[in-house]
Amino acid sequence: MSLIEKLNWRYATKKFDTAKKLSPEQLDTLLTAIQLAPSSFGLQSYKVLVVEDPAIRAQLRDAAYGQSQLTDASQVIIFASETVIDSALVNKYVDRIAEVRHMERVHLGAYEDTMVGTVNRLAEDQKMTWSNKQAYIALGVLLTAAADLGIDACPMEGFQAGKFDEILGLKALGLTTTVIAPVGFRAEDDTYSHLAKVRRPKSELFIHI
Amino acid sequence: MSLIEKLNWRYATKKFDTAKKLSPEQLDTLLTAIQLAPSSFGLQSYKVLVVEDPAIRAQLRDAAYGQSQLTDASQVIIFASETVIDSALVNKYVDRIAEVRHMERVHLGAYEDTMVGTVNRLAEDQKMTWSNKQAYIALGVLLTAAADLGIDACPMEGFQAGKFDEILGLKALGLTTTVIAPVGFRAEDDTYSHLAKVRRPKSELFIHI
């Protein structure tokens, strides 16, 4: 199948097959795709939780209006933005650049200043919005990579972020829940899998200039 | 190459080869991937501009701090969010669902009410944030699809959105620029293409529960 055929095959899975789990290799491939997702400056101002614990997942389901994907998928992937986006986060990233690229840190000073300047110009709510958007790029990469591998997923915004943060102990980690995506395999009787995909026609979606 | 190898191959292209253009088939595949990108409720509250016109692109470059990708890439893909997100947008989407799925509209009433309720509960700035995030999912899908096809891209937030809106006449269309991605092929001498990719190590990026 081409990637387009795979993107047509995917859908927001409502009912997962509880008996089918991702292999360790499949999960690792999805996580690697997330790791490789681009972000503004490459800063990756989020962490990603991979939740398998059944008791925790039962609590998350309660905080997600009872939606079965939380307990029935193979894993629940949770994108959680850093709550403190400051020069320290940038400094740490620049340390990492110097390490990976075998560069002397002094040569990264101008780039570091640009990033710190950008971050410091943003108000707190703007920082969160900016950071959340980066996590959504990673979500898009994850969903595409999952489709490529024939793995189902369900991107979800319908949950109580505050309760998720509490259940997962995120506040203490300086994180807050942004968006989630249970991953696994569709149940054979998920009626949603047979529905025709509805998208804006190209003539309405695209403007050529 | 596996998708992971392709995601390692991709990078935010700084210098495009001005002589290399996407074939019509390659461009259509990228646009189809964007069209198939998931969004909250499937609402796709954005449009996507595909800019080729050299004079317009010169103006856009000026409004993007002179960055050469704006004029040198094969096309500039611009995600532009709808500025009015209301029940009319939802109604139109439900019309489309009824048409594609050959359903009687009356059976979609509950779903429509849920969507209208969600939209109406959001303040104007929350609507924009929500809509922008959906466009970022599509950006993630685009970047992954481009990598899959061996096409280069450069996701960019460094531009003056207000000026872009003016140059592209977006206000009259009820749109505003969200994020952009020039697409094309890397120049052989783009030094950025040889830099090692810097990402958070898995041990720092992922939390397993």
Domain boundary residue among B121, B143, B177?
A: B121
Say what the pTM is.
Answer: 0.97
pLDDT tens digits along A17-56: 999 999 999 999 999 999 999 999 999 999 999 999 999 9
Q: In terms of domains, do B142 and B186 share one?
A: yes
Supply the DSSP symbol for A12.
B
Q: In terms of domains, do B111 and B31 share one?
A: no
Q: In terms of domains, do B149 and B131 share one?
A: yes
Q: Where are the alpha helices (DSSP H) in A17-77?
A: 24-36, 54-62, 69-72
The CATH number covering residue A70 comes to 3.40.109.10
In this structure, are strands A75-82 and A46-51 parallel, antiparallel, or unpaired?
antiparallel
Amino acid type, A42: G
Given pLDDT bands bounded at 50, 70 and 90, which one contains residue A131? Answer: very high
Q: In terms of domains, do B81 and B165 share one?
A: yes
CB atoms within 10 A of CB A84: 11
Q: In terms of domains, do B96 and B76 share one?
A: no
Write the DSSP string, chain B. Answer: --HHHHHHH--B-SSB-TT----HHHHHHHHHHHHH---GGG---EEEEEE--HHHHHHHHHTTTT-THHHHSSEEEEEEEES--SHHHHHHHHHHHHHHTT--GGGGHHHHHHHHHHHHHS-HHHHHHHHHHHHHHHHHHHHHHHHHHT-EE--B--S-HHHHHHHHT-GGGTEEEEEEEEEE-B-TT-GGGGSPP----HHHHEEE-
Q: How far is CA A62 from the centre of its chain?
A: 21
How many degrees, rounded to 5, is the angle at CA A34 between CA B187 and CA B41?
Answer: 105
Q: In terms of domains, do B198 and B112 share one?
A: no
Given pLDDT bands bounded at 50, 70 and 90, which one contains residue B159? Answer: very high
Tokens of A54: 């059944």
Given pLDDT bands bounded at 50, 70 and 90, which one contains residue A123? Answer: very high
* Residue A135 lies inside a defined structural domain of this protein: yes
Domain boundary residue among B64, B98, B121?
A: B121
Nearest-CA neighbor of B127 among B87, B186, B70?
Answer: B87
* Confidence at residue A140, expressed as pLDDT on a 0 to 100 scale: 98
Question: What distance in Å separates residue B209's CA from the closest CA in chain A?
Answer: 5
Q: In terms of domains, do B131 and B151 share one?
A: yes
- In chain B, how many domains are there? 2
**Closest chain A CA to residue B201:** A35
* Confidence at residue B8, expressed as pLDDT on a 0 to 100 scale: 97
Nearest-CB residue to B195 (from A101, A195, A207)? A101
A143/B141 Cβ within 8 A: yes
* Residue A15 lies inside a defined structural domain of this protein: yes
Tally of CA atoms within 13 A in the half-sphere of B159 that contains its CB? 33
Q: In terms of domains, do B67 and B150 share one?
A: yes
CB atoms within 10 A of CB A1: 11
* Residue A96 lies inside a defined structural domain of this protein: no
Residue B108: which domain range? Answer: 89-121
pLDDT tens digits along A168-202: 999 999 999 999 999 999 999 999 999 999 999 99
B158-176 mean pLDDT: 97
CA distance A206 to A209: 10
pLDDT tens digits along B104-118: 999 999 999 999 999
* Residue A97 lies inside a defined structural domain of this protein: no
* Residue A174 lies inside a defined structural domain of this protein: yes
Residues 150-209 of A with CB under 8 A from B: 155, 157, 168, 173, 179, 195-200, 202, 204-209
pLDDT tens digits along A144-162: 999 999 999 999 999 999 9
* Residue A21 lies inside a defined structural domain of this protein: yes
Q: In terms of domains, do B116 and B20 share one?
A: no
B50-59 mean pLDDT: 98
Prediction ipTM score = 0.96
* Residue A102 lies inside a defined structural domain of this protein: no
pLDDT tens digits along A53-67: 999 999 999 999 999
In this structure, are strands A46-51 and A206-208 parallel, antiparallel, or unpaired?
unpaired
Contact residues on chain B for A125, CB-CB shorter than 8 A: none
* Confidence at residue B49, expressed as pLDDT on a 0 to 100 scale: 98
* Residue A7 lies inside a defined structural domain of this protein: yes
Q: In terms of domains, do B54 and B81 share one?
A: yes
Q: In terms of domains, do B106 and B58 share one?
A: no
Contact residues on chain A for B145, CB-CB shorter than 8 A: 3, 7, 144
**Closest chain B CA to residue A129:** B129
* Confidence at residue B121, expressed as pLDDT on a 0 to 100 scale: 94
Q: In terms of domains, do B167 and B136 share one?
A: yes
Tokens of A46: 């989020």
pLDDT tens digits along B17-29: 999 999 999 999 9
